[in-house]
Structure 1
Amino acid sequence: MAWLKAIFIGLLLLVVVAISGFFIWLAPVGAGYTAKVLCSRIFVSGLSSERALNEDVLSDNSSLLSLITANIDLRHQTVSAHAFGFRTRVAVYRPNMGCTLTDPDKVSALQNTAPVLRPIAPQPLMTAPLPPGIDRRKFNNILSEAMDEPSITPSRRTRAIVVLYKGRVVAERYDEGITVNTPLTGWSMTKSAFSAILGRMRMKDMLPPLNYPVSINEWDTQANDPRVKITYDELLHMSSGLEFDESYRNPVSDVVQMLFVAPSAAGLAVSKPLATTPGTEWRYSSGTTNVLSAAMRNLSSSMQQYQALPAELLFRPLGMRHAVVETDSDGYLVGSSFMHATAREWAKLGQLYLQDGVWNETRLLPKGWVEHATTPAPTAPNGIYGAHWWLKLPDYSNDNQNSSDVPGDAYFALGHDGQSLSVIPSKDLVIVRLGLTRSHNVFDVRRFVGGIAALFPQHTDAAPSQDDGTDSAKDEKG
């Protein structure tokens, strides 16, 4: 009977370890994720509480999230979440700032701090019919397939599609409850928007040349810290050399802790030591963009000015009045992941780059900035990545072998759950697809983008886009 007792004790220990692991590692992640996602979907995107919980939090996700209890306070615009009364996290909505994840004792202080921003005047995109010669049936079939579900149980969940041709909307589709005015999360597409904000800072002489070392207080104040040599360019190219675990399935990975547990996303990112010599190895890292965010704070005269950078430098000139970049509890913009914008506004970001940084005949990005962003990083394998823009779609082993070819000059902003912004200069196309797709099996972005691109003619200079991006554009003043 001794062996039965040993087995019983062993099983009991396993249960104790499992329960301890849940409360130590999984509960804070689950509570943080639940509170943050619910808050953003309800108060930023305007989804119903039921839809936000059932789709955005629970659907096709870890079953452990069902153990998290969420409390939604519509009056005070907060969402709290906890596991059996433990590890409570609260997400607080603030106008112009979206939702911020924090601890219960910091809610009141956070609600009383938010930058006051001037209203942004809208700049509606023009619409146009499909050009002659486009196979309308094939085009509409591609859009319909992207919006349809492959089975009875929803899994594709495409929420918005916008196609711009020569700077005008030639097609758009929206899921039920989603409209042209619904801000939707971009997840890691935010990184490409931050590349544009940095370009705007460079245009206004707020940012030094890209080969200069970044200024990070934690590094500058430590004697002989080797990280002080990391440049802006190495960060933009994802070759900083900083240690960072980008594993989303590991609850204690750097990226999960940074987004849903740590009080400061930027603080966690800048605390990481060097793993390799800067500039010698490409490694995709969400922490990299938040290091840039910390550097942007050091280049700003105040927290107010810093938090207003996205609105004043990018959203205002493009008329992106619904767009918002959310912050961490310490006030730092989470440049890696937390931007929301309507599908048309995401398309404007792509159109700005397609037009070489020119908008309404005014140069917003420095000459050469777009070329730099779309030139392969020196250490990127197979030229897959530029400066915070993807130059090739990542290969997934289950991609459809019959996927349509994507033009070689295309580049992309990509995000978790199937978000994509595709810019194809040779076709004068910008294609946005936003949704909630957690499996690559149910939506083939290569087939979608390649199929649309194949229907459109090669770009010609005879019919310029909204702005042709030539040197005749005037530089922005002030």
Structure 2
Amino acid sequence: MTWIKATFVGLILLGILVISAFFIWLAPVGAGYTAKIMCSAIFVNGLSSDRARDEDVLADNNPLLSLITANVDLRHQTVSAHAFGFRTRIAVFRPNLGCTLSDDPARIEQLRATSPLIRPIPAQPLRTASVPGNIDRRAFNNILADAMDEPGTDISRRSRAIVVLHRGKVIAERYAPGINATTPLPGWSMTKSVFNALLGRMQQEHMIPGVDSPVLINEWQSRINDPRAVITYDQLLHMSSGLEFDESYWNPLSDVVQMLFVEPATAGFAVARPLEHKPGEYFSYNSGATNVLSAAMRNISGSILSYQHIPFDMLFRPLGIRNAVIETDQDGYFIGSSFMHASARDWAKIGQLFLQDGVWNDEQLLPPDWVKYSVTPAPAAPNGIYGAHWWLQLPGSRDKDGDTQINGPTIPDDAFFALGHDGQIISIIPSKELVIVRLGLTRDGSAFDQHRFVGSISALFPDIIARNGDTTVEVENTAQSAE
């Protein structure tokens, strides 16, 4: 009887421990994620409340998120979420800044009052063109149709938008129901590549020194002999700052999850990370690095208002990007690692800017060598997989067992990519003069094969081997059409 009693007591204690862990550590994550994602889906992306809840939050039936209750206030444009009445998190929408998480209801009005006024951005519509006559149109359309379809009976791919540019013109686009050419959609970590562009613009305008200069972080420079004070823009862009950071999305207590969905000061959390390795010697892809860069941009800008105008005045306005926002934390710092929303065409413009070596409408927006710098392999990155906030290789898909495999035609060596959670991708292939954008909500890595998708489209187009003025010379395309 003694062991039965001990087992019973042990089970009770275990249950208390599990319940305590849920309310102390897990509930804030679930509530914060639910409030933030639903707020952005409804008030930024324009989706219905039901779709935001059922797809964007509960797409994979996450057991933690299914315990969270959300309340949408359409009048005040807020979403609150809680677990059984505890640990309520609130996300508030603001024009031009999207949705911001806060724990304090009293901060909501303060947040609304700090939304910047942005002058209207003149439209610069992308030109359209037919699929070139030397391209197998049936194969091309089949690739696009397959990418928009579901791979099986279960809904898991959830492609929402595809745009293909060839020589700067839209030759194809596809949208899921309820999504169109002006719908802003989340790019997740593709935002990192946009921050690369913003830093390039700031260097072009002489707002920041060279990339080998230490970043301006007040907390680091103000401390005597702080080893972090020597970290440079280059090391942060190359993901080799040496800062300790756990990028494990599966772990609700990891740095990246806590930073994005629990901590009120995203940039402050990233800046506070201790040094784990000597700067420049160890590659560690992490979202904290970009938010340190965001903090440095804020310090350089002087005022919070000037800082919040940078994306609009220095990048969105020159490119005619009208359907984009980068969301902030409650201190007003851009969450540069993860939270930009833009239409598929606007994401394509970012790709086209880099395809054109930083030139737009005959204006050099980025330093002349910036794109070359961005796609040069980071010294510490293994196998040359990463440049300066741009990926240089596209990972293979995951099969049902979680193993990586490479399928489909080879992708040209000069291709580079912006990648984001849930299957977001901008593919830039200079040798084909192609920009391919795919946006979706794909959490099962086996449901959409990015490598096959990009490689199959690329294989249909001939290589560009020379350009003389407006004339291009192409290599005859001998690749077999991808079925």
TM-score range relative to shorter protein: over 0.9
In the alignment, the residues of structure 1 paired with residue 222 and residue 228 of structure 2 have an alpha-carbon distance, to the nearest angstrom, of 11
Q: 2:461 aligns with which of 456, 463, 466?
A: 456
Task: Tell me whether 1:282 sits opposite 2:283 in the alignment.
Answer: yes
Write out aligned runs for 1:55-134 (5 A): 55-103=55-103, 104-134=105-135
Task: Tell me whether 1:432 sits opposite 2:445 in the alignment.
Answer: no
In the alignment, the residues of structure 2 paired with residue 425 and residue 462 of structure 1 have an alpha-carbon distance, to the nearest angstrom, of 12
Once the two structures are superposed, residues 25-66 of structure 1 have per-residue CA deviations (whole angstroms, 9 ceiling, x without a partner) of 110000000000000000000000000100000011421111
Distance 1:325 1:152, change over 3 A: same
Structure 1 contact 421–430 (Cα < 8 Å) conserved: yes
Pairwise CA distance, 1:348:
0.2
Once the two structures are superposed, residues 283-313 of structure 1 have per-residue CA deviations (whole angstroms, 9 ceiling, x without a partner) of 0010000000000001002100001111111
Structure 2 contact 244–275 (Cα < 8 Å) conserved: yes
Structure 2 contact 425–437 (Cα < 8 Å) conserved: yes
> 2:340 is matched by which residue type in structure 1?
M
Partner of 2:475: none
In the alignment, the residues of structure 2 paired with residue 461 and residue 193 of structure 1 have an alpha-carbon distance, to the nearest angstrom, of 29
> 1:84 is matched by which residue type in structure 2?
F
Structure 1 contact 29–260 (Cα < 8 Å) conserved: yes
> 1:88 is matched by which residue type in structure 2?
T
Pairwise CA distance, 1:266:
0.4
> 1:45 is matched by which residue type in structure 2?
N
Q: 1:404 aligns with which of 400, 406, 409?
A: 409
DSSP-derived class of the 1:89 partner: strand
Partner of 2:34: 34
In the alignment, the residues of structure 1 paired with residue 422 and residue 247 of structure 2 have an alpha-carbon distance, to the nearest angstrom, of 15
In the alignment, the residues of structure 2 paired with residue 138 and residue 396 of structure 1 have an alpha-carbon distance, to the nearest angstrom, of 21
Structure 1 contact 167–466 (Cα < 8 Å) conserved: no
DSSP-derived class of the 1:308 partner: helix
Pairwise CA distance, 1:462:
4.5
Once the two structures are superposed, residues 113-158 of structure 1 have per-residue CA deviations (whole angstroms, 9 ceiling, x without a partner) of 1111111111000000011110111101100110000122210000
Distance 1:253 1:32, change over 3 A: same
Write out aligned runs for 1:120-269 (5 A): 120-269=121-270
> 2:301 is matched by which residue type in structure 1?
S
In the alignment, the residues of structure 1 paired with residue 463 and residue 21 of structure 2 have an alpha-carbon distance, to the nearest angstrom, of 56
In the alignment, the residues of structure 2 paired with residue 251 and residue 145 of structure 1 have an alpha-carbon distance, to the nearest angstrom, of 34
Structure 1 contact 69–83 (Cα < 8 Å) conserved: yes
Pairwise CA distance, 1:464:
6.8
DSSP-derived class of the 1:299 partner: helix
DSSP-derived class of the 2:64 partner: helix
In the alignment, the residues of structure 2 paired with residue 396 and residue 123 of structure 1 have an alpha-carbon distance, to the nearest angstrom, of 35
> 2:317 is matched by which residue type in structure 1?
R
> 2:463 is matched by which residue type in structure 1?
Q
In the alignment, the residues of structure 2 paired with residue 243 and residue 61 of structure 1 have an alpha-carbon distance, to the nearest angstrom, of 31
Which has the higher mean CA deviation after the structures are superposed, 107-116 or 299-308? Answer: 107-116
In the alignment, the residues of structure 2 paired with residue 78 and residue 461 of structure 1 have an alpha-carbon distance, to the nearest angstrom, of 53
Q: 1:422 aligns with which of 406, 427, 438?
A: 427
> 1:190 is matched by which residue type in structure 2?
T
In the alignment, the residues of structure 1 paired with residue 289 and residue 411 of structure 2 have an alpha-carbon distance, to the nearest angstrom, of 28
Partner of 1:335: 336
Distance 1:128 1:460, change over 3 A: farther
In the alignment, the residues of structure 2 paired with residue 205 and residue 108 of structure 1 have an alpha-carbon distance, to the nearest angstrom, of 36
DSSP-derived class of the 2:106 partner: helix
In the alignment, the residues of structure 1 paired with residue 291 and residue 381 of structure 2 have an alpha-carbon distance, to the nearest angstrom, of 20
> 1:377 is matched by which residue type in structure 2?
A
Pairwise CA distance, 1:396:
4.8
In the alignment, the residues of structure 2 paired with residue 193 and residue 84 of structure 1 have an alpha-carbon distance, to the nearest angstrom, of 38
In the alignment, the residues of structure 1 paired with residue 278 and residue 405 of structure 2 have an alpha-carbon distance, to the nearest angstrom, of 38
In the alignment, the residues of structure 2 paired with residue 62 and residue 175 of structure 1 have an alpha-carbon distance, to the nearest angstrom, of 24
Distance 1:28 1:449, change over 3 A: same
In the alignment, the residues of structure 2 paired with residue 403 and residue 270 of structure 1 have an alpha-carbon distance, to the nearest angstrom, of 41
Partner of 1:5: 5
In the alignment, the residues of structure 2 paired with residue 183 and residue 235 of structure 1 have an alpha-carbon distance, to the nearest angstrom, of 28
Distance 1:40 1:397, change over 3 A: closer
For structure 2, which runs of at least 5 residues remain unmatched after alignment?
473-483
Distance 1:18 1:195, change over 3 A: same
Alignment coverage as a number of residue pairs: 467
DSSP-derived class of the 2:89 partner: strand
Structure 1 contact 237–377 (Cα < 8 Å) conserved: yes
DSSP-derived class of the 1:47 partner: coil
Distance 1:383 1:61, change over 3 A: farther
Pairwise CA distance, 1:393:
1.1
DSSP-derived class of the 2:464 partner: coil
Partner of 2:16: 16
DSSP-derived class of the 1:140 partner: helix
Pairwise CA distance, 1:403:
2.2
Once the two structures are superposed, residues 58-81 of structure 1 have per-residue CA deviations (whole angstroms, 9 ceiling, x without a partner) of 011421111111010000000000
DSSP-derived class of the 1:388 partner: coil
DSSP-derived class of the 2:301 partner: coil
> 1:444 is matched by which residue type in structure 2?
D
Pairwise CA distance, 1:383:
0.2
> 1:91 is matched by which residue type in structure 2?
A
Once the two structures are superposed, residues 413-456 of structure 1 have per-residue CA deviations (whole angstroms, 9 ceiling, x without a partner) of 00000000000000000000000000110100000000000000
> 1:437 is matched by which residue type in structure 2?
T
DSSP-derived class of the 1:63 partner: coil
Percent of residue pairs identical = 65
In the alignment, the residues of structure 1 paired with residue 45 and residue 8 of structure 2 have an alpha-carbon distance, to the nearest angstrom, of 50
Structure 2 contact 68–84 (Cα < 8 Å) conserved: yes
For structure 1, which runs of at least 5 residues remain unmatched after alignment?
468-478
Once the two structures are superposed, residues 383-422 of structure 1 have per-residue CA deviations (whole angstroms, 9 ceiling, x without a partner) of 0000000000124553455322111110000000000000
Distance 1:463 1:416, change over 3 A: farther
